[in-house]
Structure 1
Amino acid sequence: MKVINTELIKQAVSKLCKQICYIMPDDVNMALSNAKESERSKLGKEILAQILLNANLAKNGVAPICQDTGMVVVFIEIGQDVRLVGEYLEDAINSGVAQAYTQGYLRKSIVSEPLFERKNTLNNTPCIIHQRIVRGDKIRLEIGTKGFGSENKSVLKMLTPADGIDGVKNVFKQAVLDAGPNACPPLIIGVGIGGTMEKAAIMAKKAAFRSIDSQNQNPKYANLENELLDIARSTGIGPQGLGGDTTALKVNVEYFATHIAGLAVAININCHATRHAQMYI
């Protein structure tokens, strides 16, 4: 049994939140650089160059990558041989987020309830927390911060099995077209297929934070990732919606078992600054 004080989790969350708001992930930075070289549109090339310049300025501390420093999403995997001590886990995670957003002078965008008063909580909490118990004696933190220019363009659709792969592709293409320039392309898109309504949505969010260099381990779904990427690029929306080849940098797909009558599909749209990082404790 390994004992871990939740103070370590709090400080890790704080560090990662500040990091991802200023430092573009290496995989995203490389994908943008490669896209700049391959983009055929002159304007598209210029836009990608400006995106890379902005990322470099942010890395040097001039300002965050984006003014919308987002709503924090935390995926935490806790080894079943870990014993947590100290502050209640969710309180520790939210304390880490609050510390990062106040000490780091990051924009606070969270309101305490969604419909009536919409009063700002002034520290960017609460965040979204997804917990999972896994084998082992370690804790894995994966953190992303989600701006809502892109989050608002995400889609959940309950298809039937008869809709099949063509139905999934149609939902995906329509989501990309509806997002258009408003989600700040080039996009990184997570797709969740199967499970139930909420499972598909969570898979899509987790897929969106997966490395651009990765592929689904199932060859059929890896091939589907490539097909969906081609569909996104075929729209011609291009960087910042001004035309070109690079409408999307990557599409990641996750899947899960489902009911004989079900085919849930979730599309999580992310802007080019898909801010994410992970750490083991």
Structure 2
Amino acid sequence: MILRPVHDTAADASAVRSIYQSAFAVPPLADRERARADVRTRRLAAADQGGCWFAVDDREGDGEPLGVSLSLRREGLWGLALFAVRPEAQGKGVGRLLLDHALAHSGGCLRGMIVASDDPRAARRYHAAGFRLHPTMAMAGSVDRTALPATGGIPVHLGDATHFDLLDSVDRRSRGAAHGEDHLALLRTCDELLVADTLAGSGYAYRLGGRVMMLAATSRRVATALLIEALARTPESDSTDVRTVTAEQDWAVDVCLAVGLSVSTRGYLALRGMRPPTPYLPSGAYL
């Protein structure tokens, strides 16, 4: 087994998608989902090549990659954005090799974050690498718009690239590191960026259809207003999806249950050197 870097090319982005779909038994992606996945892969391959790797069977020369890991470093925070191995290669040391190389990219980082699935093998590897596993919830269903609470007087408006300095400031307050140009990738692939900036605090949320892709704020009050506005803007034809909610994000649980969403457990937020950031709902792709 050999490793090679993931390159910023359409071919490598396609290979990453193929491994992801095979590993997680995901049906063919719609055009927009494929484009969003490719933006993520190419952004990380360009910015974090030392943390993005394919595992390839050296007996097959330039054969099809069997696994992939995509990781990033942002201001002292390391994150694992994707870790997947094809079913036929699982249990053969491929995952351990990929994770070890991804973790090598974390050298010098005091904090680490992984939005993890409920795969017990992956959870065991993360725990062995020093990560604490925080079970997470997912809220899904149709929004009862008659039950939407008021935003508490916090004005929320549409944002754009001129707000990136504000977003980075909120990131540093909420999770200890800015996202930097990851915000540009999120803005390209999401429907809306919502921003709040008041004396009560600041924050932002990205919405894609009925899914809240990421939310960060400097206070629970602002986070609550952003989540309410994001749910209110969800198209009535779309099912709502709010993911990676830890027990510390009870403000989000309160809002989601109030509007009729169903709660279930789903995976873990794996953290090293930090407590669950709050108020914060991470993105699996950019953490």
TM-score by length of 2: 0.31
Larger relative helix fraction? 1
